[in-house]
Amino acid sequence: MADLTMTRLYEVMIVLYAISLVFYFTDYFYKQVRARRIAFWLVSFVWVIQSAIIILTFVETKRFPILSLSEGILFYSWLLVTLSIILHCIAKVDLPVFIINILGFLFASIFTFMPKRPTGAVGETLISEMLFIHISFAILSYAAFTLTFVFAILYLVLYRLLKKKKWTHLWTRLPSLQQTSSWMNISFFIGIPMLFISLILGFEWALLTLESLSIFDSKIIGSFIILILYCFILYVNRKSKLTGTTYAWVHIYAYLLVVVNFFLGSSLSRFHLWY
């Protein structure tokens, strides 16, 4: 009965999310205020459903549901939905909200249709507060880098429109080029320390918990490469040697590497518990 209830929640979540994207699309291209309001409330219902799934899983497993790959994807999608609602209410930006919700729908779909496996094999002895904080900060950093990715795309779009002087009514609701650059930097600066904290805690947890640890594990290598890459981007940008469209493109490529490490690195890892 519980499994049937969860399945129905997954189905309702995906249907409502898909319909909301249609309304967001309609609003953006045809300036339908009513469509935007409907889309916002549908996304809000999606947020409620995702929160309910997280709470129900918490009640069932007696832990915060974040230790498996499917749970991590759900939490990541929940964060993106939360960010889209915040941006809608505070920043009043339309295209970033639309893009973030597309990404949120993508990860929600992956969570819904991927096979769910019980996490009992993890073992109570391997579950600790340090592990929980490690994974939480990792996913929060991914959410921050997702915002950087979205604003980098917007920066390139705005730059191209301004350069070619093809400004139409479709783009009147976009933020300015300077605003886009500022938001890209803010989310970028937030993501780096979160990822650093996550890696430090994860490494300490592995040393204290696992009998053997190889530093050549694919997940460890990939995560530290991403951290070094983002630190290098920060350093070069502070030296004013990486600006404008080049800076935006670098963030786009860096985020693609984050996505690859999120899925491929976890599946190839010998000791990570996500599956």
pLDDT tens for the chain, 275 residues long, are 456 677 778 888 888 888 888 888 777 666 777 888 888 999 999 999 999 988 988 888 887 877 777 888 888 999 999 998 988 887 666 778 888 888 888 888 888 777 665 554 444 444 456 677 778 888 888 899 999 999 999 999 888 888 777 666 656 667 778 888 888 888 888 888 888 888 887 776 776 666 666 666 677 788 888 989 998 988 888 877 777 889 999 999 999 998 888 777 655 555 554 44
What residues have CB less than 8 Å from 51, skipping those under 6 apart?
Answer: 78
Q: What is the pLDDT of residue 171?
A: 61
Tell me the two tokens of residue 116. Answer: 């769910």
- For 96, counting Cβ atoms within 10 Å of its Cβ (0-12 exposed, 13-18 middle, 19+ buried), the class is buried
Contact 218, 268 (CB under 8 A): yes
Residue in the block written with tokens 């049937």: 4
Q: What is the reported pTM?
A: 0.72
Q: What is the pLDDT of residue 122?
A: 42
